[in-house]
Amino acid sequence: MRMRKKKWARPELEACPWAVLDSDANRGRWRSLFPKDQPLHVELGCGKGVSTAAMAHAEKDVNFVAIDISTDVLGVARRNVAARYGDEPVDNLRLAVKECSFISQAFSGEDRVERIYISFCNPWSQRERQKKRRLTHPRQLMQYRDFLVDGGQIWFKTDDDGLFDDTVGYLAQCGFTIQYLTRDLHASGFAPNYVSEHEAMFTAQGVKTKFLIAAKGPLAEKPDVLGRKKRPAPEITTICYLEKDGKCLLIHRNKRESDGNYGKWLGIGGHFERGESPEDCVLREVREETGLTLTEYAFRGVVTFVSGDWVEYMHVFSATDFTGSLAADCDEGEVCWVEKEKVPGLPMWAGDRIFLRLLDEGSPFFSLKLIYDDTGLAAAVLNGKALAL
């Protein structure tokens, strides 16, 4: 439930010497905010600071930074801490405003944090996509790794079984080792435990507190924290349409049935090799596939092919002269000179007919995007403008 706006909260925090409104300004310098150089523990989503106040007051040999996204909530925490400390100076606790999704903006390895507390954070269990917002999600844990010392711990409490079980998995993925785990903290005898506001509330409803301690260990493999599907890298290719004496040099891709272009007629070309320019690539491809060396050629345009996850950027050349003689064999298909007027009648991709027309018309340098779906050519966009199909 969202807390009512508290007009007094921000002014009170601004006037409070142990509250930090600009957390990012202290990145790498948190230790210098405390009079005593002692272990640094950070609480994420501290809420109204009920347990924070008790813990910091009881453990004066530790410096604490208690973070929450909401100034209204932190304002209440400030009052709770002030009440707990009374006349004693609050010199081992700082209340800090920060959205923990971006915690790396506020903490770095130089802060050498020894422990992180996360208590009763929002489980975000309703939808799979929302789980990324959990304070124990791998995208968070990987940030915490950066400012936790080796062996540094996460102390995690929750009422939520699903979040607890998932967190055990998240921790393993991110190189943390579970050192202690209980599904009923209050029956476990673990001490000291500082009961938080939500812990008290759930306990009163008969919900057990799940609790674990995990330590940062070595990371075998960096997890894919965004859970994004790995997409194939775009392919980068050249193609050349060589014309001479009213004929066009084409390849009939008829050697391998597994070839995606099987049965189609195409110009000569292929994939870039590392470090090649479009010209390097087209010259090499034409030489390898036909035995010819281009002597007159021009870079005419770029075709962007999209089909589902597959993307290809094809650099289109035309050529009018060459040296050498046509090689007898090409392992991709049959290379042959075709009368120009017969070219439109050959089996080829619908999109290829569009850029062949542009070449024929002597079009200036063009950018053509061709989108294919299961049914064939779904869209064509020339120099940013959709073409009617």
Contact status: 300 vs ligand SAM (CB under 6 A):
no
| DSSP per-residue string spanning 26-79 | GTTTGGGGSSS---EEEEES-TT-HHHHHHHHH-TTSEEEEEES-HHHHHHHHH
Contact status: 209 vs ligand SAM (CB under 6 A):
no
Stretch that binds ligand SAM, among 119-127, 159-167, 168-176, 289-297 (CB under 6 A): 119-127
Q: How far is residue 119's CA from residue 48's CA, in Å, rounded to a whole number?
A: 12
- Please, which residues have CB within 8 angstroms of residue 128's CB and are 6 or more apart in sequence? none
As given in the structure block, the two tokens for residue 184 are 């009923």
Q: How far is residue 79's CA from residue 49's CA, in Å, rounded to a whole number?
A: 9
Question: In the bound complex, what is the minimum distance in angstroms from residue 214's beta carbon to ligand SAM?
Answer: 18
Q: Which residue has 């410096």 as its token pair?
A: 63
3-class SS of residue 221? coil
Which of 46, 106, 283, 368 forms a contact with ligand SAM (CB under 6 A)? 46
Contact status: 120 vs ligand SAM (CB under 6 A):
yes
Stretch that binds ligand SAM, among 42-50, 269-277, 281-289, 323-331 (CB under 6 A): 42-50
What is the Cβ-side half-sphere exposure of residue 43, based on CA atoms within 13 angstroms? 30
Task: Please identify, using beta-carbon distances, which residue of 45 and 267 lies nearer to ligand SAM.
Answer: 45
Question: In the bound complex, what is the minimum distance in angstroms from residue 178's beta carbon to ligand SAM?
Answer: 21
Task: Please identify, using beta-carbon distances, which residue of 105 and 367 lies nearer to ligand SAM.
Answer: 105
Stretch that binds ligand SAM, among 67-75, 169-177, 268-276, 371-379 (CB under 6 A): 67-75
Stretch that binds ligand SAM, among 7-15, 120-128, 337-345, 350-358 (CB under 6 A): 120-128
Q: How far is residue 218's CA from residue 177's CA, in Å, rounded to a whole number?
A: 9
Which of 199, 285, 289, 352 forms a contact with ligand SAM (CB under 6 A)? 199
At position 251, the amino acid (one-letter code) is I
Question: In the bound complex, what is the minimum distance in angstroms from residue 161's beta carbon to ligand SAM?
Answer: 16
Using CB under 6 A, which residues numbered 86 to 115 contact ligand SAM? 99-101
Contact status: 119 vs ligand SAM (CB under 6 A):
yes
Nearest residue to ligand SAM on Cβ basis? 47
Go through the chain and tell me how many residues it has.
389
Using CB under 6 A, which residues numbered 69 to 88 contact ligand SAM? 69-70, 73
- Is residue 347 within 8 A of residue 254, CB to CB? The reply is no
Count of residues that bind ligand SAM according to CB under 6 A? 19
Which of 24, 29, 110, 122 forms a contact with ligand SAM (CB under 6 A)? 122
DSSP strand pairing (176-182 vs 210-216):
antiparallel
Using CB under 6 A, which residues numbered 325 to 364 contact ligand SAM? none
Question: In the bound complex, what is the minimum distance in angstroms from residue 347's beta carbon to ligand SAM?
Answer: 57
Residue in 358, 260, 364, 374 with CA at minimum distance from that of residue 312: 260
Which of 121, 250, 286, 330 forms a contact with ligand SAM (CB under 6 A)? 121
Greatest alpha-carbon span in the chain:
99
Q: How far is residue 321's CA from residue 280's CA, in Å, rounded to a whole number?
A: 17
- Is residue 30 within 8 A of residue 40, CB to CB? The reply is yes
Question: In the bound complex, what is the minimum distance in angstroms from residue 12's beta carbon to ligand SAM?
Answer: 17
Task: Please identify, using beta-carbon distances, which residue of 132 and 287 lies nearer to ligand SAM.
Answer: 132
Which of 12, 13, 30, 45 forms a contact with ligand SAM (CB under 6 A)? 45
Task: Please identify, using beta-carbon distances, which residue of 83 and 388 lies nearer to ligand SAM.
Answer: 83
- Is residue 290 within 8 A of residue 330, CB to CB? The reply is yes
Which of 31, 139, 198, 369 forms a contact with ligand SAM (CB under 6 A)? 198
Contact status: 57 vs ligand SAM (CB under 6 A):
no
| DSSP per-residue string spanning 299-364 | EEEEEEEEETTEEEEEEEEEEEEEES---S--TTSEEEEEEGGGGGGS---HHHHHHHHHHHTTPP
Q: How far is residue 64's CA from residue 110's CA, in Å, rounded to a whole number?
A: 16
Task: Please identify, using beta-carbon distances, which residue of 92 and 209 lies nearer to ligand SAM.
Answer: 209
Binding residues for ligand SAM (CB under 6 A):
45-47, 67-70, 73, 99-101, 119-122, 196-199
